[in-house]
């Protein structure tokens, strides 16, 4: 069964700290993996997109990694800010079909 599982479900960190969110998937055939940030009451905004051959991709303080062999991805947030508080969604594009969404990790950054 094609699934995308994210951990942890929720996370609370202090402002300025780093954190890493995990994504494991069983989607096949694989096309690409995306990380989105979704603020409460808003639509998801793309952070990174990685294809099979890409191991790492950065977007400012966000760095995503992909291990296509183990079917794992991570999103690392450096020097967190209050504005990073949001839901982070891992999405896998199954080749030839629509997107498969993880349930997201809710990140709360406190001062």
Partner 1 sequence: GAVVSQHPSWVICKSGTSVKIECRSLDFQATTMFWYRQFPKQSLMLMATSNEGSKATYEQGVEKDKFLINHASLTLSTLTVTSAHPEDSSFYICSAVDRAYGYTFGSGTRLTVV
Q: Which is nearer to partner 1, 22 or 93 (CB)?
A: 93
CA 107 remoteness from chain centre: 11
Q: Is residue 17 involved in binding partner 1 (CB under 8 A)?
A: no
Which of the residues 68 through 97 are near partner 1 (CB under 8 A)? 89, 91, 93
CB of 87 to partner 1, least distance (A): 8
Q: How far is the CB of 49 from partner 1 (least distance, A)?
A: 6
| Number of other CB atoms surrounding residue 85 within 10 Å | 17
Name beta bridge partners: 41. Answer: none
| CA angle (24, 1, 5) in 5-degree steps | 25
């Amino acid at each position: 069964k094609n699934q995308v599982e994210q951990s942890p479900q929720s996370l609370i960190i202090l402002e300025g700290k780093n954190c890493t969110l995990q994504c494991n998937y069983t989607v096949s055939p694989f096309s690409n993996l995306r990380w989105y940030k979704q603020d409460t009451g808003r639509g998801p905004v793309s952070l990174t997109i990685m294809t099979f051959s890409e191991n790492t991709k950065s977007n400012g303080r966000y760095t995503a990694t992909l291990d296509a062999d183990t079917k794992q991805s991570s999103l690392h947030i450096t020097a967190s800010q209050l504005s990073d508080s949001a839901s982070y969604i891992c999405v896998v594009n199954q080749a030839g079909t629509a997107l498969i969404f993880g349930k997201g990790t809710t990140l709360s950054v406190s001062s």
